[in-house]
Amino acid sequence: MTQALRSKPFNPMLALHMLESVSETSTPPSPPQPSSTTGSSTAQAFPVRQDLYDEGYSDAEYQQMLELYEGTLQSIQEGEIVKSKILRVTESHVILDVGFKSEGAVAIDEFKDLAAVSPGDEVEVLLERLEDEEGSIVLSKKKADFMRVWEKIRHAYENDQPVDGTLQKKIKGGVVVDLMGVDAFLPGSQIALRRVPNIDELLGQTYQFKIIKLNKRRRNIVVSRRVILETERSHKREHLMKELEVGQVRKGVVKNITDFGAFIDLGGVDGLLHITDMSWGRVSHPSEMANLGQDIDVKVLDIDWDRERISLGLKQLQPYPWENVTERYPVGVRVQGKVVSITNYGAFVELEPGIEGLVHISEMSWTRSVRHPSKIVSIGETIEAVVLKVDPEEEKISLGMKQTEQDPWMMLPMKYPVGTRISGKVRNLTSFGAFVEIEPGIDGLIHISDMSWTKRVQHPSEIVKKNDTVEVVILNIDPENKRISLGLKQMIEDPWLKIAETHPVDMEIDGTIVRYQDNGIVVDLGGDLEGFVPQSQLPIPDGKSAESVTKVRQSVSLKVLEVDPIHHRIILAATEFGELPPDEPEPPPTEASSDDESDAPEAVTAESEDQPEAEAQEASEQPEKEPPTA
């Protein structure tokens, strides 16, 4: 029969049709009973439909056919890893043949390398269920991969062995690592010894990891690269502790750059190269001196193993620039340099790397009043200066810009001898005088006592106004202190010699009250001439004050008692007061410069008759005030 069966071609579809028809087959009409041989159980499991006998097969042939078809099916169970063949690939799934009566499908995202997936390839998958609600077989490649490598992962975890892995993609809190085909989680804190600024640069890199957490039920694997690095650093640190010494020059790699310096990997231990130890010159940012990943030679300055701190230096590999600085920059020599910094008090000029000098604001111009150095120089500008002072111990050099030109003040005494008459513009008013511009940047002072021969000037604004052009006389020039004294009243002859002649003693004259003083009143005699009437020479009742019985602008009859042309004073006696003037509103205050220091104090113009001559002179004349430096 077997020979006869083999003479007919095997039709598996016919056999499958026989199996699928079992559930539809009713009791067959008197089918032939198979012999009680090996295969009786199969005959019971797969009853044959009556219409199949029309194909011309005998019962034995049909039985043999069923046994052959059963051999084409794999004996598989749920939870097993089976081999399958890729039939085709769709947009969302890979269709597999696992040797069962129906095909299986696996989500395409379970295949890490889609480029390597092609029909005909064999892959291992996990049979999760033989049949789901839709009658489809349920397969998983991801779980099969996990089960295959689980034992290796468990063994590495239990024996604290490192495993190789590749960083795949960045997720919240860390990175997904491909660990022998299985996804593991690498927390962000376990990537490196320090925070990684850009994790994307590490993706695709393969490193060694330690498995620090394992949960098969949840298929959770947590790995750490930091543990590996800490172990390596510990070994290297022990080695470095034995050989690292202060003063050594070591080669390192720039690991990180901050605002205050750069961290250098010395081969297991990091040292700090502070910004102040990078160069003898000025460094704005460490990135000017070092780049990430750069190989660099540094000198070990200090070691503190307890605090795990190593201080490194770069400038210490270069000669100390302040050595023999007095020979290179002697006092008086002209130098050129670049302005590297500007402060309120001056500008710092770099003469060479590590050597800077200060041009003080007072050394920038002979004539200009510099409010801020930025008005004269700017950062990056190359200037010429003269060395004024060198202090190697304090690492300081004083420079002067104005010394590159001749001091114009030294030429002024020859250019403007005392007595020279010049004209200038009033630039500023103060309570003690007026500043007049002689030349651009050079001012002289007209003291308030040199503004009028006869009038007691209370404020310079009574005589001159700001921006007025006036003619003055040079009274004194002090080049050392940069001061020029000017006189306005000296433009005319001293009138007091003639006043003594035109105002003899006992001469009667009329005047007007202009102001009151503690011991008398001041009267205007006309022609800018003022006289003083002591309290004892006023015709007022005892116990009364002049202010209580008289008013300013009230006329008064006077008699000359004394004329002193040397001390510029005239003493009078009042014989009679005129009528009281009508009340008038007070005039607006005298307009003065905004630069006035303070209101001028009222000066004493005369003294009583019984005052000693020396005291009278002191009272009648204001002391000469030294003008401030122009």
Number of domains in the chain: 6
Which H helix or E strand runs over 533? strand 529-534
For the chain, give the mean pLDDT.
78
Q: Same domain, yes or no, for 293 and 342?
A: no
User: From the centroid of its chain, how far is CA 33?
Assistant: 100
- The β-bridge partners of 550 are none
Domain that holds residue 570: 496-620
Examine residue 165 and state whether it is found in any structural domain, yes or no: no
Q: What is the pLDDT of residue 347?
A: 93
CATH of the domain at 377: 2.40.50.140
Q: What is the pLDDT of residue 14?
A: 44
Q: Same domain, yes or no, for 32 and 111?
A: no
Q: What is the pLDDT of residue 567?
A: 80
Q: Same domain, yes or no, for 442 and 522?
A: no
Q: What is the pLDDT of residue 445?
A: 94
Q: Same domain, yes or no, for 399 and 412?
A: no
The total number of residues written for the chain in this structure: 630
Q: Same domain, yes or no, for 523 and 592?
A: yes
**Alpha-carbon torsion 596, 599, 601, 606, what sign?**
positive
Distance CA 427, CA 433 (A): 11
345: left (phi over 0), alpha (psi -120 to 50) or beta: alpha
Q: Same domain, yes or no, for 433 and 525?
A: no
Question: Stretch 113-142: mean pLDDT, rounded?
Answer: 75
Using the 3D structure, point to which of 491, 519, 542 is the last residue of a domain. Answer: 491
Q: In the 8-state DSSP scheme, what is residue 8?
A: S
Using the 3D structure, point to which of 404, 434, 455 is the last residue of a domain. Answer: 404
Strands 433-439 and 442-447: antiparallel
Contact between residue 350 and residue 281 where contact means Cβ atoms under 8 Å apart: yes
Examine residue 154 and state whether it is found in any structural domain, yes or no: no
Contact between residue 403 and residue 385 where contact means Cβ atoms under 8 Å apart: yes
- The β-bridge partners of 127 are 139
Q: What is the pLDDT of residue 611?
A: 35
What's the token pair of residue 621?
A: 């004349």
Q: What is the pLDDT of residue 16?
A: 43
pLDDT in tens, 182-226: 888 999 888 887 788 788 888 888 998 998 888 877 778 899 998
Residue type, 135: G
Q: Same domain, yes or no, for 115 and 47?
A: no
What's the token pair of residue 573?
A: 């006696």
Residue type, 185: F
Q: Same domain, yes or no, for 536 and 593?
A: yes
Is pLDDT of 400 > 90? yes
Q: Same domain, yes or no, for 437 and 542?
A: no
pLDDT in tens, 283-335: 889 988 888 888 889 999 998 888 878 899 988 888 888 888 888 999 999 99
Examine residue 75 and state whether it is found in any structural domain, yes or no: no
Using the 3D structure, point to which of 491, 511, 535 is the last residue of a domain. Answer: 491
| SS3 (DSSP) at 408 | helix
Examine residue 239 and state whether it is found in any structural domain, yes or no: no
- How sure is the predictor about 588, in pLDDT bands with cuts at 50, 70 and 90? low
Q: What is the pLDDT of residue 44?
A: 38
Examine residue 296 and state whether it is found in any structural domain, yes or no: yes
Which H helix or E strand runs over 563? strand 555-564
Q: Same domain, yes or no, for 580 and 470?
A: no
Residue percentage of the chain with pLDDT more than 90: 18
Examine residue 258 and state whether it is found in any structural domain, yes or no: yes
Examine residue 480 and state whether it is found in any structural domain, yes or no: yes
Examine residue 576 and state whether it is found in any structural domain, yes or no: yes
Residue type, 308: E
Q: Same domain, yes or no, for 576 and 614?
A: yes
pLDDT in tens, 69-126: 555 555 566 667 777 888 888 888 888 877 776 677 888 787 777 777 778 888 878 7
- The β-bridge partners of 185 are 176, 222
pLDDT in tens, 415-456: 889 989 999 999 999 999 999 988 888 889 999 988 888 888
Q: Give the list of residues 6+ apart from residue 483 with CB closer than 8 angstroms, or none.
A: 445, 476, 477, 626, 627, 628, 629, 630
Q: Same domain, yes or no, for 483 and 500?
A: no
HSE-up (13 A, CA, CB side) for residue 593 = 24
